Amino acid sequence: MKKVKQNNPKGITLIALVITIILLLILAGVSIAMLTGENGILTKATNTKEDTQKVGTKEKLELAVAGYQIEKNTGNIDMVEYLKDTEKSGLEGIEIVSENGENIIGKYEGYTFIIDEKGKINIGHNLVKNGLLEEKNNTNFSDMQYNEQGKYLTMQSNNRKIHIVPDEYIEIDSSKEYFQSITAKANNTDSKIYIGLQEYDVDKRSINPFNYMYIDGSLTYLEQDLNNGDTDVYLNDVSGFKKENTEIYQRGFIFWNYKDSKGYQYPELTYSRNQYPSNGNNIFEESGIESENNTIHLNEPWKYGKIEKGTKLSQRNSGATYNYGLLYGKNLSTNWKNYRNKISGVIDTGAYSFIKFRPGTKYVRPMIIFNYNQTIDTTIDVKDIIFMEV
């Protein structure tokens, strides 16, 4: 009788072992991601601990300020003196960095805080390196000079507009809320100053109005490929371009097909660097828009490379060059004055805002445009440069 050949049990065991190892590796990868990823258990636990600590520190400061309000009704006492008095305030180890009558800025339990004239407190980790001039020099502010006697940064200009930003970029999460503050003064009250934020994308490219601003209702798409040398652009609908719209600063296109260096393509009506022309000229005129055949006649032949049929685009728009949330084209006082602002969320309307981040923002730097109108012998002094999550 012929014997039936049996399968090799060792072979089955080896295959099972390999499969088991693969499954264990997959489970291990999933577990590590669950523990340490951006939304992982350990990350969330760390964030929760940080939030709890910050809330606790803020409550201590709020109790101290409330105690001061009661104390000052019974006698003439300075808030700074009260806060430094551990027995009265209960704040051991508090450091007062600056106070100018409008606010008090300091450090407590590892946090930076600012108490405004109404007693309201903002607290967090200052993300501006050397923002409170802790290093007693111009580290991170190489364009400015450090005044050792006055403990502030200074710059002089003579008939010249100057753009000032720190050396280092600050990475942000645009879904969170941030507090920005700066204390400044100038010797010339005729000099126009802009203070706020300069925003950058993931590739640290400055985000300008043309990169996200558009005319509402102008969204359409190409009906034909657009090639170099073409003088007509064929669209599905030109009605949004035909409007006699006083909002339009320069007639041009913003194409919603931009991919960053990491391969991410931004959704339509958010952020794009594919906007034309790059200069301030009109790429077409109102008279070049033909509603009958939905075409736009260009002022000169297209020279920006092929753009495929079906690509979505809008009439671009323009607005404030940067986020001037602290000071917009005004004069500085000759005395120290604090300017502050809160920023949260992302602009989603194609407009500009000083209280929201621009689409695509990944990094920011505090920014000053100094002596915009180019006056003679103008000096700006700044200190207490704060940008923190609150």
Q: In the predicted model, is pLDDT for residue 245 greater than 60?
A: no
Q: In the predicted model, is pLDDT for residue 6 greater than 70?
A: no
Confidence (pLDDT) at 146: 97
Q: Which two tokens stand for residue 165?
A: 């930003």
**Cα–Cα distances in Å, from 299 out to 281, 292, 324?**
10, 19, 34
How far is residue 285's CA from residue 289's CA, in Å, rounded to a whole number? 7
Q: Which superfamily does CATH assign the domain made up of 145-208+321-389 to? A: Galactose-binding domain-like (2.60.120.260)
Give the rounded percent of residues in the chain with a pLDDT score beyond 70. 92
Confidence (pLDDT) at 60: 96
| φ, ψ for residue 224, nearest 5 deg | -140, 155
How far is residue 167's CA from residue 129's CA, in Å, rounded to a whole number? 9
How confident is residue 168, by pLDDT bands cut at 50, 70 and 90?
very high
> To 5 degrees, how large is the angle CA 187–CA 191–CA 194?
110
How far is residue 237's CA from residue 222's CA, in Å, rounded to a whole number? 9
DSSP string, 277-304: -SSSS-SEEEEEEETTTTEEEESS---S
Confidence (pLDDT) at 11: 54
How far is residue 208's CA from residue 175's CA, in Å, rounded to a whole number? 20
Q: What is the pLDDT of residues 348-361, one digit of tens each?
A: 988 889 999 999 99
Q: In the predicted model, is pLDDT for residue 61 greater than 90?
A: yes
Phi/psi-derived region of residue 192, left when phi > 0, alpha when psi is between -120 and 50, beta in every other case: beta
**Cα–Cα distances in Å, from 125 out to 37, 180, 196, 299, 310?**
22, 12, 19, 52, 46
- Average pLDDT on 210-237 reads 96
For the chain, the farthest-separated pair of C-alpha atoms sits apart, in whole angstroms, at 115
How confident is residue 346, by pLDDT bands cut at 50, 70 and 90?
very high
Tokens 């602290």, located at residue: 326
Tokens 């000099």, located at residue: 191
Confidence (pLDDT) at 262: 94
How confident is residue 26, by pLDDT bands cut at 50, 70 and 90?
confident
Mean residue pLDDT across the chain: 90
Confidence (pLDDT) at 246: 53
- Residue 155 near residue 128, CB atoms below 8 Å: no
**Cα–Cα distances in Å, from 214 out to 188, 201, 297, 316?**
38, 18, 20, 4
Query: pLDDT: is 350 or 133 the higher one?
Result: 133
Q: Which two tokens stand for residue 307?
A: 């753009």
In single-letter form, the type of residue at position 220 comes to T
Give the rounded percent of residues in the chain with a pLDDT score beyond 90. 72
Confidence (pLDDT) at 357: 98
How confident is residue 50, by pLDDT bands cut at 50, 70 and 90?
confident
Other CB atoms within 10 Å distance of the CB of residue 138: 17
Other CB atoms within 10 Å distance of the CB of residue 233: 24
Q: In the predicted model, is pLDDT for residue 347 greater than 70?
A: yes
Among 97-101, 211-215, 273-277, the range scoring the smallest mean pLDDT is 97-101
How confident is residue 36, by pLDDT bands cut at 50, 70 and 90?
low
How confident is residue 278, by pLDDT bands cut at 50, 70 and 90?
confident
Domain residue spans of the chain: 62-124, 145-208+321-389
Look at strands 284-290 and 337-344 and give their pairing. Answer: unpaired
Q: Which two tokens stand for residue 215?
A: 């005319």
- Average pLDDT on 254-280 reads 94
List the one residue out of 273, 274, 281, 269 whose CA is nearest residue 351: 269
Confidence (pLDDT) at 152: 97
Buried b (16+ CB within 10 A) or exposed e, 352-387: bbeebbbbbbbbbbbbbbbbeeebeebbbbbbbbbb
